[in-house]
Structure 1
Amino acid sequence: MGLEKIHFVASPVALAQEAMARLVRRHGQAPLGEAEVIVVLGGDGLMLQTLHGTDKNGLPVYGMNRGTVGFLMNEYAEEGLVERLGAAESAVINPLRMRATRADGAVVEALAINEISLIRAGPQAAKLRILVDGRERMAELVADGALLATPAGSTAYNYSAHGPILPIGAEVLALTPMSAFRPRRWRGALLPKEAHVTFEVREPEKRPVAAAADSAEVRDVIHIVVASEPAIAHRLLFDPGHGLEERLIREQFV
């Protein structure tokens, strides 16, 4: 099936803007409501921003790297774009939904494609109680924080925190501590994708904590519930042989 009605999105940097201008001259710029595919020109940050902004239209998204890391992007090339789109492999990603309660009682919901992270917001380590499906699994984690990552996000912040890389098709989430002090040797856990994970902040006035869903931050949180959101499915397109599954495997051998 050909994907010829393309809506282009580019980061504000000159390299991406110039590439977009050339591609629009060649392929046109389909309005978002009429497009068959979105092509993102930039880096992973713009890809995440685009996915968050288009989660209701169900369009597949194909990225070409005009940024730095570009883990979620394909190599940039102006020739044969329609053919590449037609031959692309797809990876379906369900985001995480965070429901965070602040100390003032306000409740904030946000979605994350990579991870939900809890990070200390003061000089002292955070103290977190962790429950899975309503059952206490850790009475107290003393650490800089903790995060819950999807397979797609397992090579990002999670990997930097020494968490595991997850195959994209794995029906699991990675729960990873950040600089754990107690229990000192706890390296985290793998949880079923359907799990509901609750974090309760101990001593929030003395040890304030901020929660972030990808780049959306909520400060002074005291209670956070995180679960996968199966009703939302992001479809990313990759060139054959260079899909997200292959990238996740390759990343473990470098």
Structure 2
Amino acid sequence: MQPASVGRLGLVVHPVRDTVEQARLVQTWAAAHGKEVVGLRTDAARLPEGVDLVGPEEFASTVDAAVSLGGDGTMLGALRLLVGRGVPVLGVNLGHLGFLVELEPRELPAALERISAGDFTVEPHLCLRTELRTGEGHRESVAFNDVALARRPGHGTVTAALSVADQRIGYLRCDAVVLATPTGSTAYSYAAGGPVVSPGADSLVVTPVAPMSGIGRPIVLGVDEPVRLELLEKSGAPVVEVDGIASGELPPGSVVEVRAERDAGHVIRLDAGDHGRRSRVKLSLLDLPLLPDEMLELVPQELRRSESTRTR
């Protein structure tokens, strides 16, 4: 799917990093092509003057495409903001590894030209719609990577009964339970020993972290199989994390219901094959026992000088 035309571009920026320079590139390009650029009022300090500032509802309902300036966390925020809208998002990497984001800042002007010409593809992503029910009420959230129930230090383990498609299949007693999308399978779930799942697969992964008893292996489920976790009375009160963002604690007796939703988010891909190759390399680097600065030492000096020149 591709928008018929891109008249209004939305900017979603990193919550802390200075993104004015990259945002100005988008703004300058848009002015030269008769496009409008909008951003969120909460991001005003990291946007250049002249960008129209709007609230999240107007942003989500009026932009034709969005540019995410940051890392994977910023990209996930953009997808959550635009969930279910069918608005494609281009990711520009200002972070570290970056699995979702495709571009480096120097590639942005050429990428915008291609988007304007409709020369891109859209990669659909499923999300996890989660309902958290406690004795005090319920709240809902959306995740594109994962939902995790994580043990608080000094408190009891996460002990929960697991049901799939209304069928009780066992219980988990562990430090955390991670429910991940295929996109999120390379994040917390992967670190806990879960499988890497292709982004093209419609599935949901349930991964216990440091299991002590009960279900001790990751489970891969179909996208049409809703998951229910009920915290048993002997459970600690875990912290709920949605795409890595803490969103409160759950007391024993709480219920977490998760349903996967297809095509909830859309990511712009300019070269899906090249992005896939980069992601595989990045994933392999995570298993090296080296820090980023130490890995740089493996790169020949002439290549380091070449890359430094290109990025200035």
TM range (shorter): 0.7 to 0.9
Question: 9, 25, 28: which is aligned to 1:6?
Answer: 9
Aligned equivalent of 1:145: 176
Deviation at 1:6, TM superposition (A): 2.6
Moved more, 163-172 or 49-58: 49-58
Q: How many equivalent residue pairs? A: 249
1:75 and 2:78 matched: no
Deviations 1:108-137 (A, max 9, x none): 111111111111235221211111111111
Does the CA contact (< 8 Å) of 1:168 and 1:244 recur in 2?
Answer: no
Q: In 2, distance between residues paired with 1:127 and 1:11?
A: 35
Deviation at 1:59, TM superposition (A): 1.2
Deviations 1:131-176 (A, max 9, x none): 11111111x3210021111001111111111111100111211110
Change (3 A) 1:80 1:168: same
TM-score, length of structure 1 as denominator length = 0.86
Q: In 2, distance between residues paired with 1:91 and 1:62?
A: 11
Moved more, 208-217 or 174-183: 208-217
Q: In 2, distance between residues paired with 1:218 and 1:48?
A: 19
- SS of the equivalent of 2:108 reads coil
Aligned equivalent of 1:25: 28
Change (3 A) 1:34 1:247: same
Deviation at 1:234, TM superposition (A): 0.8
Does the CA contact (< 8 Å) of 1:155 and 1:248 recur in 2?
Answer: no
Q: In 1, distance between residues paired with 2:196 and 2:143?
A: 17
Aligned equivalent of 2:237: 208
Aligned equivalent of 2:121: 89
Following superposition of structure 1 onto structure 2, how do residues 226-245 of structure 1 map, counting pairs within 5 Å? 226-230=258-262, 233-242=264-273
- SS of the equivalent of 1:164 reads coil
1:58 and 2:64 matched: no
1:123 and 2:160 matched: no
- SS of the equivalent of 2:194 reads coil
**Between structures 1 and 2, the one with greater helix share:** 2
- SS of the equivalent of 2:182 reads coil
> Which structure is larger by alpha-carbon Rg, 1 or 2?
2
Q: In 1, distance between residues paired with 2:140 and 2:276?
A: 29
Question: 44, 63, 66: which is aligned to 2:72?
Answer: 44
Deviation at 1:250, TM superposition (A): 5.0
Change (3 A) 1:209 1:20: same
Amino acid at match of 1:207: G
Aligned equivalent of 1:217: 247
Report 1 or 2 for greater relative contact order, CA contacts < 8 Å, sequence distance ≥ 6: 1
Aligned equivalent of 1:135: 167
Amino acid at match of 1:17: V
Change (3 A) 1:78 1:170: closer
Deviation at 1:10, TM superposition (A): 2.2
TM-score, length of structure 2 as denominator length = 0.71
Amino acid at match of 1:189: I
Deviation at 1:188, TM superposition (A): 1.3
- Name stretches of at least 5 consecutive residues in structure 1 with no aligned partner: none
Deviation at 1:105, TM superposition (A): 3.3
- SS of the equivalent of 2:162 reads strand
Amino acid at match of 1:219: E
Amino acid at match of 1:163: G
Does the CA contact (< 8 Å) of 1:8 and 1:24 recur in 2?
Answer: no
Percent identity over paired residues: 26
Q: In 1, distance between residues paired with 2:201 and 2:149?
A: 23
Does the CA contact (< 8 Å) of 1:2 and 1:82 recur in 2?
Answer: no
Change (3 A) 1:247 1:198: farther
Q: In 2, distance between residues paired with 1:135 and 1:243?
A: 41
Deviation at 1:213, TM superposition (A): 2.5
- Name stretches of at least 5 consecutive residues in structure 2 with no aligned partner: 39-58, 286-312
